[in-house]
Amino acid sequence: MLSQLWAPRAWLPGGWRERVLLEVGRDGRWLAITPDRDAPPGAEIAAGPLLPALVDAHSHAFQRAFAGLAETREGATEDDFWSWRERMYGVASRITAGQLCAVAAQLYVELLRGGYTQVCEFHYLQRDPEGQPYADPLTLGWALADAAAEAGIGLTLLPALYERAGFTLPALREEQRRFALDAQGAWEAARRVREAGRPLLSAGLAIHSLRAAAPVSILALRDLSEDFEGPIHIHVAEQSAEVEQCLGATGERPIQWLYGQGLLDPRWHLVHATHATRKEIAAVDASEAGVVLCPSTEANLGDGLADLPGWLAAGVGVSIGSDSQVSRDAVEELRWLEYGQRLHLRRRNLAAAPGTGQPSTAARLLDVAVHAGARAAGEPAWGLVEGARADALVADAGAGGLLGVPAERLLDALLFAGPTRPWRDVLVAGRWVIREGRHPEAEAIAQRFSAAMLALWSGG
């Protein structure tokens, strides 16, 4: 483990600082961060600009096996989220624990290369392929934990309450048989993960969605977790059809229902929240809950466009996620948070806030995502700040988009003068997991991933 890291330039709260000395405690967290210091003897020298790593606040690891494989449309049938979901179920129904571990390990190496050092795994794949409980109900959860440990990424496992197929469908469909988990099961899974004591492993809770969990079960989980300090995630208002169904079943929109039940508080993170009204945004702000936006997946699935200016103006924490894994690049997610709004509103620099001293779109997006990501992962702090885990990214100063860029515009160029290049070096808890773009286990992990993909897609 490092004890001292010196960076000629680092992105600290407030912007770039020069000649920064970062000290790492024995617990793998930043002990002290001091700008305007010469490098002391024995300190390791960062090989480029140092930036905070990102939290991937929403991931379904098994869907990495499906990324890029739903991009055709047969016949005259329209294609949307719901038809994509039916095809995705085919992978969910047959992936084994060993294949899940292989797929997740490949994903987690890719996420590290893409700038994420912590992943919040929204985990709803629970049972065996026949829909029967494993002898250890956490068999698939441990497969994800093993994959994260091999890759060297931090993992927040979020076992998901999932018990019905829809607002008016009280049971799961046959193709959803592997997802069954009640409130007590989700609570017990989170407790076991938290008590396991594995390095870089923590747990929160998840509710798949209002359509997939009955109100009585959601309230039961609320009661079980009354003193729980970890994060609670839920898919909500992702699709306009979901909003319409919720209105028909409850008389309220999904976010409106959650707020009206008194459920929302700072532990809650609303994933997608694509179809939210300004009144609902104000309610989320009042509750101090956060939102998780996944622009590459939301675009890929045709979800719609979240009201990023509304969320930012209200001061709601906005984290980012890779979700269906069509992109594993944190910079791309941040870039498309902004680009989606530019296309929709036909204006530029929508995320910038010069009135509050934040004229840089890139700086505001990064700072918001870093801060909100900490809460989404259940971390007390995040980024290049004292007390946060000693995670960091070293940019490749030789990347084409950064060459010749004035020093003060480096972050702007990194986000908006793509294409993105993998990070040169990646630090997790004071240890390098990627050096000069290389992960030590990448080749072995890729071989197992390829074998798992062959078995999944050849019927073997």
Determine the Cα–Cα distance for residues 374 and 43; give it in Å rounded to an integer.
27
Determine the Cα–Cα distance for residues 326 and 334; give it in Å rounded to an integer.
15
Cβ within 8 Å of residue 443, ≥6 positions away: none
- Cβ distance 156 to 378 under 8 Å? yes
Determine the Cα–Cα distance for residues 106 and 116; give it in Å rounded to an integer.
14
- Cβ distance 172 to 395 under 8 Å? no
- Which residues make beta-bridge pairs with 21? 6, 34
- Dihedrals phi, psi of 56, to nearest 5 degrees: -85, 100
Q: Kindly name the residue from 58, 123, 269, 272 that is annotated as catalytic.
A: 272
Cβ within 8 Å of residue 112, ≥6 positions away: 151, 152, 153, 426, 428, 433, 434, 439
pLDDT value at position 459?
61
272 included as an active-site residue: yes
User: Amino acid letter at 114?
Assistant: G
User: Amino acid letter at 420?
Assistant: T
| DSSP class of 47 | S
pTM of the entire predicted model: 0.98
Cis peptide upstream of residue 419 (ω within 30 degrees of 0): yes
pLDDT value at position 460?
46
- Cβ distance 367 to 11 under 8 Å? no
Determine the Cα–Cα distance for residues 106 and 156; give it in Å rounded to an integer.
17
- Dihedrals phi, psi of 17, to nearest 5 degrees: -130, 150
Residue 379 tokens read as: 């971390």
Q: Kindly name the residue from 307, 323, 367, 396 that is annotated as catalytic.
A: 323
> For the chain, what's the residue count?
460
- Which residues make beta-bridge pairs with 218? none
- H/E stretch holding 19 reads strand 15-24
pLDDT tens for the chain, 460 residues long, are: 999 999 999 999 999 999 999 999 999 999 999 999 999 999 999 999 999 999 999 999 999 999 999 999 877 578 889 899 999 999 999 999 999 999 999 999 999 999 999 999 999 999 999 999 999 999 999 999 999 999 999 999 999 999 999 999 999 999 999 999 999 999 999 999 999 999 999 999 999 999 999 999 999 999 999 999 999 999 999 999 999 999 999 999 999 999 999 999 999 999 999 999 999 999 999 999 999 999 999 999 999 999 999 999 999 999 999 999 999 999 999 999 999 999 999 999 999 999 999 999 999 999 999 999 999 999 999 999 999 999 999 999 888 888 899 999 999 999 999 777 779 999 999 999 999 999 999 999 999 999 999 999 986 4
- Cβ distance 395 to 49 under 8 Å? yes
Helices (H), 114-162: 139-151
Determine the Cα–Cα distance for residues 417 and 403; give it in Å rounded to an integer.
10
Determine the Cα–Cα distance for residues 389 and 25; give it in Å rounded to an integer.
9
For the CA atoms of 223, 157, 378, 115, the dihedral, rounded to the nearest 10 degrees, stands at -160
- Which residues make beta-bridge pairs with 232? 205, 268
Determine the Cα–Cα distance for residues 204 and 193; give it in Å rounded to an integer.
9
Determine the Cα–Cα distance for residues 289 and 285; give it in Å rounded to an integer.
7
pLDDT value at position 207?
98
323 included as an active-site residue: yes
User: Amino acid letter at 208?
Assistant: H
pLDDT value at position 398?
84
**Residue labelled with tokens 């359509």:** 211
First to last CA, the chain: 42
User: Amino acid letter at 218?
Assistant: I
- Cβ distance 148 to 433 under 8 Å? no
- Dihedrals phi, psi of 58, to nearest 5 degrees: -155, 110
**Residue labelled with tokens 């026949």:** 130
- The 10 Å CB-count burial string (b at 16+, else e) for 185-213 is bbbbbbebbbeeeeebbbbbbbbbbbbbb
305 closest CA partner among 343, 358, 260, 269: 343
- H/E stretch holding 205 reads strand 205-207
Determine the Cα–Cα distance for residues 57 and 369; give it in Å rounded to an integer.
9
pLDDT value at position 76?
59
- H/E stretch holding 204 reads none
- Which residues make beta-bridge pairs with 203? 157
pLDDT value at position 73?
87
193 closest CA partner among 180, 209, 206: 206
- Cβ distance 411 to 79 under 8 Å? no
- Which residues make beta-bridge pairs with 66? none
- Cβ distance 103 to 64 under 8 Å? yes
| DSSP class of 134 | P
pLDDT value at position 253?
98
Tens-place pLDDT, residues 175-190: 999 999 999 999 999 9
